[in-house]
A and B are shown apart, each in its own frame.
Chain A
């Protein structure tokens, strides 16, 4: 069974940094691309970033480009999101998602999310 467990969320002030992690199990981690998707309170889903199986292809939403960095450690079955220069509009539930492919075409399995709150 695919399991994705996010951690690292919390409450931070604008301009500060936070690092999210996702521990993956139940599948061959380095066979699949991975994504971060967020959902602001009461709002829809927003794709944040994705990374291919070998980190050879990486992408970011325009809203986070230059501030967030996605990475993965295939040896540790883990995915990370380094978030710098946080803004109030980054407040959201952040989901880690396993892709259905190695290249990064669609989130297939989702974790339960970790909440990030950016407030003065």
Chain B
């Protein structure tokens, strides 16, 4: 199974909105509403930001939102803040007969 495809980097100014795409296949993103997104700051463990395509865990800002269309999922961050600067990873369930999960390569978000 191949990794999901994400852009290597995106950038935006404070207050702006950005969107990170995550492209998979009909075997993973396209088949299940089980896409999740993680934020990772340098030297820290990943933090879950979105699960099941568009649900936010308790405590995550509503500036973060997720969506999916076909084989591509997206993470949108509105009202960019300096602390949003981090690497973002998408993840999708890809199991069928066995448990299987696949990550994207990660996208570095720079807040200008």
* A62–B36 CA distance with the chains assembled, in angstroms: 21
Interface residues of B, CB < 8 Å — how many?
28
Which residues of chain A have C-beta atoms less than 8 A from B95's C-beta?
57, 59, 104
- Is B46 engaged at the interface, CB distance under 8 Å to the other chain? yes
A50 touches which of B32, B40, B100, B104 (Cβ 8 Å): B100
Q: Mark B73-109, 1 if CB is under 8 A from A, else 0.
A: 0000000000000010101010100111111111000
B51 and A113 form a contact (CB under 8 A): no
B51 and A108 form a contact (CB under 8 A): yes
Closest to B37 in A: A106
A59 touches which of B89, B99, B105 (Cβ 8 Å): B99
* A82–B3 CA distance with the chains assembled, in angstroms: 24
- Is B69 engaged at the interface, CB distance under 8 Å to the other chain? no
B93 and A105 form a contact (CB under 8 A): yes
Closest to A51 in B: B99
Interface size bucket, A side? 20 to 34
Which residues of chain A have C-beta atoms less than 8 A from B112's C-beta?
none
Tally A-B pairs: CB < 8 A: 80
- Is B14 engaged at the interface, CB distance under 8 Å to the other chain? no
Closest to B57 in A: A108
B45 and A45 form a contact (CB under 8 A): no
Known: A45-B38, A46-B103, A47-B102. A106 touches B51 (CB 8 A): yes
Known: A52-B99, A57-B98. A106 touches B45 (CB 8 A): no
- Is A26 engaged at the interface, CB distance under 8 Å to the other chain? no
B101 and A45 form a contact (CB under 8 A): no
A95 and B45 form a contact (CB under 8 A): yes
A residues with a Cβ closer than 8 A to B are: 33, 35, 37, 44-47, 50-52, 57-59, 61-62, 95, 100, 103-113
B residues with a Cβ closer than 8 A to A are: 1, 3, 32, 34, 36, 38, 40, 45-48, 51-52, 57, 87, 89, 91, 93, 95, 98-106
